[in-house]
Amino acid sequence: MRRAGGLHYPHPEPPAPGAAVEIAEGVLWLRLPLPFRPDHLNVYALDEGDGWTIVDAGLDTPACREWWQSVLAGPLAGRPVRRVVLTHHHPDHVGLAGWFQGALGAELWATRTAWLYARMLTLDVQERPPAEALDFWRGAGMEAEMLAARAEARPFNFADVVAPMPLGFRRIAQDEEIEAGGRRWRVEIGHGHAPEAALLWGVDHDVVLVGDQVLPGITPNLGVYPTEPEADPVGAWIASCRRLRALAGPEHLALPGHRLPFTGLDLRLEQLIAHQEAALAALEAFLDRPRRTSECFEALFGRRIGGAAYGLALAEAVGHLNHLHRTGAAVRWRDSGGAWLWQRREKAPDSAPGSG
């Protein structure tokens, strides 16, 4: 057992490719490779005797389908997947859910918001970014050259890596109790990283399937996107984690969507809340004069960010700035080019155009 940052890792090494580790009685831990960072997804298979319930499904790519075919014939012993439970709607979690439904006859269990988001986004295929996306990026201070390049390029579409989702699912909701893998679980809902994300909290045992709501070693992305430009994922996530902290203890074995399973869920929630509060304080201090969103990366992340990580960093910077604006700590106004300028309220000049 390895200990780091006050957390205990009962299995310090992940499962070998295509193999499974019994992380708890009747609960298998498998690791599905992904083509981006983080470069894996933790998948959990709950033993139903004559079949399996799996938690999350991976991307719809040839490599992920090949991995699943190998796992179904190998560690899952040829027994069928009867149910897929989604923790949230992001493509690395939902990508093959429709394949399990349509091709393999599994039931899909998810929160209503997760299913609606995933199905809507798979049907919304765009060859070029819509005007709303361009305005969002312009407002975030994206450099003109990068904005012009994005305007002419095909954007990422959910349908690129998410299989078509058949009509119909089984809704799960806060406080519902379900049976899976010979255990009882209570549904706990988290917000911020994704709307209405589902955690499965052990009722008569100490195992908790936390998805991406609580991660060891890294923080969940709390980004804002053109679909909801005024969202406050940071506030929603902190509020969710504070509520979950009241339920968590050091004995809970947390099974996350990425990194390693760990015990010390109560401590990890405290660490994550403190980290976000420190990030907000650093960002507020940085807003001693008007700043564009894209200028805030070093204050939030401690470094300049470009390349493939730029989009996620921009989305997360908007998320933190929106929270400061929502709580009254910062004001904003648009410059002559349409970019938002943000400034700490106490430092904003009386002549600032307003808070927009």
Burial (0-12, 13-18, 19+ Cβ within 10 Å), 116: middle
**Section 69-74 average pLDDT:** 98
CA end-to-end span of the chain: 52
- Which of 33-37, 89-93, 167-171, 232-236 has the lowest average pLDDT? 33-37
Planar angle of CA 159, 160, 165, nearest 5 degrees: 30
**Residue 158 pLDDT exceeds 90:** yes
> Under a CB-based contact definition with an 8 Å cutoff, are residues 198 and 110 in contact?
yes
Q: What is the reported pLDDT for 348?
A: 73
Phi, psi of 314 (to 5 degrees): -65, -45
- The arithmetic mean of pLDDT across residues 274-301, rounded, is 97
CA 181-195-135 angle, 5° bins: 145
pLDDT > 80? residue 5: no
Q: What is the pLDDT of residue 355?
A: 52
With residue 27 as reference, give the H or E element that holds it: strand 27-33
Q: How far is CA 144 from CA 151, 290, 292, in A?
A: 10, 19, 13
Query: Percent of the chain having pLDDT more than 90?
Result: 92
pLDDT of residue 100 exceeding 90, the answer is yes
Per-residue confidence (pLDDT) for residue 1, from 0 to 100? 54
Q: Looking at residue 163, what DSSP letter applies?
A: P
CATH fold of 2-126+156-276 reads: Metallo-beta-lactamase; Chain A (3.60.15)
pLDDT of residue 353: 61
Tens of pLDDT, residues 182-211: 999 999 999 999 999 999 999 999 999 999
Average pLDDT, the chain: 95
Whole-prediction pTM value?
A: 0.95
225, pLDDT greater than 90: yes
> How do residues 49-69 score in pLDDT, each as one tens digit?
999 999 999 999 999 999 999
Can you tell me the mean pLDDT for 126-145?
96
At 4 the pLDDT is 66
Confidence check: pLDDT of 11 > 70: yes
Predicted pLDDT at 308: 82
The answer to whether residue 306 scores a pLDDT higher than 60 is yes
> What's residue 346's pLDDT?
87
Mean predicted confidence (pLDDT) in 151-173: 97
| Segment 281-290 mean pLDDT | 97
Examine the pLDDT at 234 and tell me if it is beyond 90. Answer: yes
* For residue 321, pLDDT beyond 80: yes
